[in-house]
């Protein structure tokens, strides 16, 4: 007569269950360690980048006065007579391209977001959003060639004084590049506004346009503003478009038809040029990079503050 009922688990099954539980417990113990290691590596990598920038920038300021760097209006690092390292022309060139990009991207991006959130049908949304995602995935070097070989010749037909390398063309194309970011993030912010707010406004006699502009848009303002600030940060750090289409002439003026040079374009110029290791020009790219890092850090902190300070809870 059998000692075990047919429903009792076999010894092999009990051993297998014990081993399975042991493996599961091992995985449960290892996963926090692995996740903590991944997070720590990310933080350490950030600190390493910042430390490298600060260390090399400090070496640059051992050779160049920080006052001349911050307030100088001439950037002539390759001058054979007296090199000049005033960062203001590079900052002005960067801001000119960024300002043009904002003028292009913000109205179009917010208008597109309002359409997708409030007016577009499901079929239209399924078509338009993938196109925007494709636009966001285009390599920036392709945008650069597009600005140089298509946008600039078209603009020259309208503005004869426009040079081949200028600030206007790359500014427009950078605006096109950041357009999907503003549209997508703004549309997400508008979609999070409760439907009851729209229905209440419509019930009070508001038109669809009034609901969109006077109810939904103000309610999603924090998310929209954060998306714009993040897009501006992305525009400031853009490299390939301005390197190909903006030129390499640092100028401390506010014209948009002549060649300019941005901070990122200068870094590319020196990094691919003949600047020897340990020279002042070599260390200048770290100083410019650190300045660019400060700009983007401030913009990201501003976006984070805005999204927290003015966030609406529904």
Residue-wise DSSP of 189-248:
HHHTS-HHHHHHHHHTT--HHHHIIIIIHHHTHHHHHHHHHHHHHHHHT--HHHHHHT-S
Helix residue ranges, H only, the chain? 11-61, 66-71, 88-114, 122-136, 140-146, 152-158, 168-191, 195-203, 208-211, 217-219, 221-236, 240-245, 263-271, 280-309
Euclidean distance between CA atoms 304 and 308, whole angstroms = 6
Rama region for 278: left / alpha / beta (φ>0; ψ in -120 to 50; rest): left
How many CB atoms neighbour CB 138 within 10 A? 13
- Residues sharing a CB contact under 8 Å with residue 205, sequence separation 6 or more, in sequence order: none
Euclidean distance between CA atoms 289 and 57, whole angstroms = 9
Record the tokens describing residue 8, joined without a space.
Answer: 């009792």
- Residues sharing a CB contact under 8 Å with residue 243, sequence separation 6 or more, in sequence order: 144, 264, 265, 268, 269
Q: pLDDT (tens digit, 0 to 9) for every residue of the chain, 314 residues total?
A: 444 455 555 656 655 555 556 667 777 778 888 888 888 998 899 888 888 888 889 988 888 888 888 888 888 888 778 888 889 999 999 999 999 999 999 999 999 999 988 888 888 888 888 888 788 888 889 999 999 999 999 998 998 888 888 999 999 999 999 999 999 888 888 888 888 888 888 888 888 888 888 888 888 888 888 888 889 888 888 888 998 888 888 888 888 888 888 898 888 888 876 677 778 888 888 999 999 988 888 888 887 777 777 665 55
Q: Give the C-alpha distances (Å, rounded to integers) separating 284 from 96, 242, 252.
A: 22, 19, 18
pLDDT at position 1: 45
Of 239, 236, 262, 240, which is closest to residue 249 (Cα–Cα)?
262
Surface-to-core class of residue 288, CB atoms within 10 Å of its CB (0-12 exposed, 13-18 middle, 19+ buried): buried
Of 228, 229, 260, which is closest to residue 244 (Cα–Cα)?
260
Strand partners, 75: 85
Record the tokens describing residue 250, joined without a space.
Answer: 């640092």
pLDDT at position 313: 58
Do 240 and 140 form a contact (C-beta atoms < 8 A)? yes
pLDDT in tens, 225-273: 888 888 988 888 888 899 888 888 888 888 888 888 889 888 888 887 6
pLDDT at position 91: 92
Report the sign of the C-alpha dihedral through residues 277, 280, 285, 286, in that order. positive
How many CB atoms neighbour CB 52 within 10 A? 13
pLDDT at position 150: 92
pLDDT at position 169: 93
pLDDT at position 12: 60
pLDDT at position 19: 54
Record the tokens describing residue 311, joined without a space.
Answer: 């966030």
Of 162, 288, 290, 306, which is closest to residue 232 (Cα–Cα)?
306
Task: Name the CA radius of gyration of the chain, rounded.
Answer: 27
């Amino acid at each position: 007569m059998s000692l075990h009922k047919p429903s009792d688990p076999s010894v092999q099954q009990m051993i297998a269950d014990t081993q399975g539980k042991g493996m599961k417990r091992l995985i449960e113990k290892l996963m926090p360690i692995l996740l903590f290691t991944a997070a720590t590596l990310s933080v350490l990598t950030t600190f390493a980048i910042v430390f490298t920038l600060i260390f090399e920038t400090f070496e640059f300021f051992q050779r160049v006065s920080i006052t001349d760097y911050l307030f100088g209006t001439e950037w002539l690092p390759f001058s054979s007579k007296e090199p000049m390292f005033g960062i203001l022309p590079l900052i002005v060139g960067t801001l000119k391209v960024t300002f043009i990009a904002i003028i292009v991207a913000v109205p179009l991006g917010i208008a597109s977001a309002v359409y997708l959130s409030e007016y577009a049908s499901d079929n239209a949304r399924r078509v338009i959003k993938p196109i925007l995602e494709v636009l966001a995935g285009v390599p920036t070097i392709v945008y650069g060639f597009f600005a140089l070989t298509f946008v600039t010749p078209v603009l020259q037909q309208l503005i004869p004084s426009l040079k081949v390398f200028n600030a206007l063309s790359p500014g427009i194309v950078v605006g096109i590049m950041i357009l999907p970011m503003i549209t997508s993030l703004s549309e997400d912010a508008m979609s999070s506004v409760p439907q009851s707010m729209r229905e209440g406004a419509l019930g009070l006699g508001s038109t669809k346009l009034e609901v969109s502009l006077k109810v939904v848009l103000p309610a999603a303002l924090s998310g929209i503003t954060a998306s714009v600030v993040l897009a501006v940060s992305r525009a400031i750090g853009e490299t390939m478009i301005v390197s190909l289409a903006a030129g390499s002439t640092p100028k401390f003026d506010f014209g948009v038809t002549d060649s300019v040079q941005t901070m990122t374009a200068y870094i590319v110029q020196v990094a691919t040029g003949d600047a020897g290791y340990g020279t002042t020009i070599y260390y200048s790219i770290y100083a410019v990079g650190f300045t660019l890092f400060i700009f983007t850090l401030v913009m990201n902190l501003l976006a984070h503050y805005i999204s927290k300070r003015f966030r609406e809870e529904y």
